[in-house]
Amino acid sequence: MEKMQKALAATEKGKLEIVEIAIPEPDDYEVLVENEGCVFCNTTDRMIIDNLFHTPDYPVVIGHECFGHVIKVGKKVKKYKLGDRVICSNAIVNGYDGKYYSTWGGFAKYGISGDLDAYIADNGVPDEANKYRNRYKANYKISNDLPIEKAALAFPLAEASSAIKQVGDLTGKTVVVIGTGVVGFSFTMFAKVYGAKKVITLGILEDKLEIARSLGADETYIDLDEARDAIIASGGADIVFECCGNWRALEKGLPYLKNDGLLAVFAVPKQPYSFDIRRCPINFRCQLIDPAVHVTIDETCKLLAENKLPHEILLTHTCTLDEAPEAFERIRQEKDIKSLVIF
């Protein structure tokens, strides 16, 4: 095997380049993964590239929605075996290789996944010097039988489905989804899959709302006042999912709720949220929800395998690693929903 590999890095604010880094070597508690591909995370990767999110420093190798097969196994690993398909490997194990930092470093052909349970059993909880091992919590096996286009979406869709699961059973409920980015689309789709009686999606572009309807939205609105009047007239919403990170949309979403309704906030806000408590429904609840991939990764793979999730609507572009900087610009310009880089 060669000693060096190409990787995708943000070399300065707003700039992506193909760079060369070492192929990592697994230790006793780690496995080497040969990645099949990595998908752009439209939120986290973009915020790292644009320096809007916590970033160690530039240059930094990006990517966490990667997946591939185990090709080498450390002697103390119990969780994985050769040939297992694993998500979320890391090309730069300890976060810095002397030249490049890493925010997972999934945009590279080879990366490291680890068996955290085996490490803790032998050594206890990782100390400061080994804290990077805590990242192994995000390493999970997925089905080898999924076609690459479906496997590519297992991690991001499990993020969305696990967040939705945190609010409880959606069966028979009226749900409003604010936002028509990747997260909003995913929430629209899963709300319907998980039994919501009615799913109403709010956005600002008709072509995006058309996609939401293809993913299961029963009603869509651009005009928020029109949406408010229609939703209130029909009895109000049991749950409002805020998926766009805009506090003004959040504030306008409060009147949609029934008394005792739930406002569930997922998106990373661009500024602190603020709203007039006098405009809130009685006894409403507000819950911050966050991905817990391990909760639904197996279920998500099963739904993908059974063709119950329309992956082809969400995965709109594939390319090579050399083409990845241009692919990211397509995402920035909202020409693509999700883009897969195939190694």
The β-bridge partners of 219 are 200
Between CA 304 and CA 157 the distance in angstroms is 10
Per DSSP, helices labelled H in 136-181 are 148-165
CATH class assigned to 4-156+292-342: alpha beta
Give the separation between CA 147 and CA 137, rounded to whole angstroms. 25
Segments of the chain assigned to CATH 3.90.180.10: 4-156+292-342
Instruction: Tell me the mean pLDDT in the region 291-298.
Output: 93
pLDDT tier for residue 302 given thresholds of 50, 70 and 90: very high
State residue 53's pLDDT score: 76
Residue with tokens 């398909």, as numbered in its chain: 85
Note the pLDDT of residue 69: 98
d(CA 166, CA 237) in angstroms, rounded, equals 17
Straight-line distance from the first to the last Cα atom of the chain, in angstroms, rounded to the nearest whole number: 16
The answer for residues whose C-beta is within 8 angstroms of residue 141's C-beta and 6 or more apart is 79, 80, 84, 85, 86
**Residues of each domain in the chain carrying CATH 3.40.50.720:** 167-288
The confidence score (pLDDT) of residue 175 equals 97
* Res. 270: pLDDT tops 70: no
Q: What is the pLDDT, as a whole number, of residue 178?
A: 93
**What average pLDDT score do residues 38-62 get?**
90
Reading the block at residue 128, the tokens are 């400061």
What is the rounded distance in angstroms from the CA atom of residue 140 to the CA atom of residue 255? Answer: 40
CA-CA distance, 219 to 201, in Å (whole number)? 6
pLDDT mean over 21-40: 97
Q: Does position 319 have pLDDT exceeding 70, yes or no?
A: yes
Give CA 216 to chain center in angstroms.
20
What are the CA-CA distances from residue 235 to residues 103, 218, 238 (Å)? 45, 15, 9
**Cα 209 → chain centroid:** 21
- Is the pLDDT at 35 greater than 90? The verdict is yes
pLDDT in tens, 183-225: 999 999 999 999 999 999 999 999 999 999 999 999 999 988 8
| CA-based nearest residue to 60, from 128, 23, 14 | 14
Mean of all residue pLDDT scores within the chain: 92
Question: Tens digits of per-residue pLDDT, 223-240?
Answer: 888 998 999 999 999 999
What is the CB neighbour count within 10 angstroms for residue 38? 36
DSSP-assigned letter for residue 194: T
At residue 301, the pLDDT reads 97
Of the pLDDT bands very low, low, confident and very high (cuts 50, 70, 90), residue 330 is very high
Span 167-288 CATH architecture: 3-Layer(aba) Sandwich (3.40)
Lowest mean pLDDT among 252-256, 260-264, 312-316: 252-256
pLDDT band at 267 (very low <50, low <70, confident <90, very high): low
- Higher pLDDT pick, 296 / 2: 296
What does the pLDDT read at residue 268?
64
Secondary structure percentages of the chain, helix, strand, coil, to 5 = 35, 30, 40
Asked whether residue 133 carries a pLDDT value surpassing 70, the answer given is yes
- Tell me the per-residue pLDDT of 8-28, one tens digit each, with 9 for 90 and over: 999 999 999 999 999 999 999
pLDDT band at 43 (very low <50, low <70, confident <90, very high): confident
- Alpha-carbon distance 298 to 124, whole Å? 28
Confidence of residue 127 (pLDDT cuts 50, 70, 90): very high
Q: Is the pLDDT score of 249 beyond 70?
A: no
State what percent of residues in the chain have pLDDT above 70: 97
The per-residue DSSP string of 74-141 comes to -TT--S--TT-EEE--BSSTTSB-SS-EESS--SBSEEEEE-HHHHHHHH-S--GGGGGGGGGGG--E
- Quick check: 291 and 161 in contact, CB under 8 A? no
